[in-house]
Structure 1
Amino acid sequence: MNDIIGITMGDPVGVGPEITVKALAEMTPEQRAKTRVFGNLATLEAAQTVVGTSLDLSGLVEDLDVPGAPLPWGRLDPAAGDAAFRFIEAAVRAAEAGAIGCIVTAPINKAALNAAGHHYDGHTGLLRSLTAADSAFMLLASERLEVIHVSTHVSLKEAIGRVTPERVLDTIRAGHAHLRRIGIETPRIAVAGLNPHCGENGLFGNEDVEQIGPAIAQARDEGISVEGPISADTVYYRAYQGGFDLVIAQYHDQGHIPIKLVAFDTTVNVTVGLPIDRTSVDHGTAFDIAGTGKANHTNMNAAIAYARKLAAGRCQ
């Protein structure tokens, strides 16, 4: 396999180009030699002007055409949404061909993506479609807390419907396999409950007993070290204090809120379950500050560092 990482530039009118060039500027020459950017050269050069860097980007960038580039910063544009899709598609094909070992994605704008005719709920659904994967899971990783989600970008009503024994079990298995891959021999996994106090013996709902409990029992039968369901108002604190290596969150906000509270700038979004590796920043396109040079690239650096570990692991 290949230890080169591929960075997708993200939406051309968001902060993706800026955080990309800022990250590139801080790399060593050796690190840049193992980095490839899937984006638009004219936009990246404009971003360099904004942030004050002056790298020679020749040889680093797979330059994909964006008509009229650089486009005006911070304006929702279907052309930018289409370009973001094409950057990702090119990186996926490179990863499938073995030309890169892991993809790092800068943020895209879901409204622009859909306005361009690419109807996905975000990166995870898009990557699952491009790779023809049966399923994919969003895992958020930080130094002291890791969370993987049973569902993400759906309504709360739909998320409740997705809490099935099969989906919960698949999420546990995916999280367990990922942690073993990154070196945790026997991951300690906690499963958050869906309802307040895990339903309080049926007073607040039966999903925890009827839907989540059987999945945990099956995972234990498979030799996975897993506990739960544990009330969501305590499980994250216990994990943060070192009691667990991973928490299974039942829906988007249940997982995102605690980890963004404790590691807002350093949380890395990892897609688990695909035939390729992908990490990402865990923030949006920030149209309000795009083109000002103010975007913080700390999260991009964290996503790149995690990607290099994954890519190196595939080379072993």
Structure 2
Amino acid sequence: MSLDRPLALTMGEPAGIASELTLKAWLNRPGLPVFTAVDDPSHLAALAETLRLPVPIRLINDLDEAAAVFPDALPVLPCSLAEPSRPGQPTGANARAVIASIEQAVALTKSGKAAGVVTNPIAKSVLQSVGFPYPGHTEFLGALAGGAQPVMMLASPLLRVVPVTIHVALRQVPDLLTADLIVETARIVAADFRRHFGLPTPRIAVAGLNPHAGENGRMGREDIEVVGPAISQLQAEGIAAFGPLSADTMFHAEARKRYDVALCMYHDQALIPLKTLDFAGGVNVTLGLPFVRTSPDHGTAFDIAGQGIADPASLIAAIRLAGEMTA
């Protein structure tokens, strides 16, 4: 895949599997767009040697060098760790480097030097130990984009899902869920599907909040008073939304043929079916930003860090999808 600019790949949590995934993604580079790691070159080189991965590391000073370097070595823009990282032993001392890597990748993309951002998994609790005020990547990227409303989508060849509420306790969801929030989320989804996926009128299946979409109010009135009016408004705007649907029957193979993306009311309602269907191939996509951002759909996997057994499939899928969305 050929792009006019490279993708910027962030460091992620250095004590997890992120660096191993970066090295293995480069080893699987045929067919992938050019990417540059915004990372600590010494850390990557040491890990490559430890895991016996034949990945030459090449320090670059400008993204213009990446395309020429990429066929023969992994191009790296330096972002230094404060102290050496040990597999499975995260430390707050390196948290600021992780944050700086994300900030640098976004800045490169906003300036037009990078085609898009691909983020490696982070450990939110480690970042928050040094004052990181965001629940996760999605909210941080929204702030870096100047206050854009980010929308998290999980995508694979089998299913695309968008949770309306994201990183909040389940008991908070009914209070946070409003018709306006559903409508605004669906508008962003529809706009980015037109922009990045070539679907002029994406079909949006909307899940109900309650079991069986509330059964006409017998199990909660949110689907009548909140979700239903939001769908009516979207339809009036020409957006192909339909529902509310019972979440327990909308993710089997035949049901998935009816829509391009499922709009779900809370985090697990969306992510459980996606990760069940395609854990290794799932990609986290942030919609609603002025730049492309994708990420693997899994965490830091501290329990297997440094063992050389991490599966790079999700990161490779994220790099590939970022290239396709940018192209």
In the aligned structure 2, how far is the partner of 1:248 from the partner of 1:239?
Answer: 17
1:98 and 2:112 aligned:
yes
Residue 145 of structure 1, aligned match among 153, 159, 170: 159
Alignment-mate amino acid for residue 220 of structure 1: Q
Q: Which residue of 2 aligns with 1:279?
A: 294
Tell me the matched-pair count: 309
Q: What is the distance in 2 between the residues matched to 1:249 and 1:84?
A: 30
**Cα offset, 1:240, TM superposition:** 5.4
Moved more, 51-60 or 145-154: 51-60
Q: Which moved more, 1:45-54 or 1:108-117?
A: 45-54
Distance 2:20 2:174 in 1: 38
Q: In the alignment, which residue of structure 1 is the partner of 2:14?
A: 12
Determine the structure 1 residue equivalent to 2:243.
228
Alignment of 1:301 with 2:303, yes or no, is no
Of stretches 206-215 and 44-53 in structure 1, the one that deviates more from structure 2 is 44-53
Cα distance in 1 for partners of 2:17, 2:254 equals 32
Gaps in structure 1 of 5+ consecutive residues: none
Aligned amino acid, residue 10 of structure 1: G
1:49 maps to what in 2?
49
Q: After superposition, where does 1:27-66 map in structure 2 within 5 Å?
A: 27-28=29-30, 34-58=34-58, 59=60, 60-66=75-81
Deviations 1:127-176 (A, max 9, x none): 11112233111101111211011011110122222210011001111221
Q: 1:196/1:83 Cα in 2 relative to 1: closer, same or farther (>3 Å)?
A: same
Whole-Å Cα distance in 2 between the matches of residues 63 and 138 of structure 1? 28
Q: Is the 8 A contact 1:50 1:292 kept in 2?
A: no
Which residue in the other structure is 2:66 paired with? Answer: none
What is the TM-score of this pair, normalised by structure 1? 0.94
Q: How does 1:51-130 map to 2 (within 5 A)?
A: 51-58=51-58, 59=60, 60-69=75-84, 71-130=85-144
Q: Which amino acid in 2 is paired with 1:291? A: G
The residue identity in structure 1 corresponding to 2:125 is: A
Runs of 4+ in 1 over 3 A off after TM superposition: 238-241
* Distance in 1 (alpha carbons) for counterparts of 2:189 and 2:254: 15
- Residue 162 (structure 1) aligned to one of 149, 163, 176: 176
| Matched residue type, 2:283 | V
Cross-structure match for 2:213: 198
For the aligned residue pairs, the C-alpha RMSD in angstroms reads 1.6
Unaligned runs of 5+ in 2: 61-74
Q: Distance in 1 between matches of 2:151 and 2:231?
A: 18
Residue 211 of structure 1 and its aligned partner are, at CA, apart by: 0.8
Alpha-carbon deviations, 1:255-313, whole Å to 9, x = none?
0000111111001100001111100001000111111111110111100100111222x
TM-score normalised over the length of structure 2: 0.91
- Report the AA paired with residue 68 of structure 1: E
Alpha-carbon distance in structure 1 between the residues aligned to 2:47 and 2:131: 26
For 1:95, the aligned partner's letter is T
CA distance in 2: counterparts of 1:126 and 1:51, whole angstroms: 32
- Separation in structure 2 between the aligned mates of residue 149 and residue 302 of structure 1, nearest angstrom: 21
Asked if residue 258 in structure 1 is aligned to residue 273 in structure 2, the reply is yes
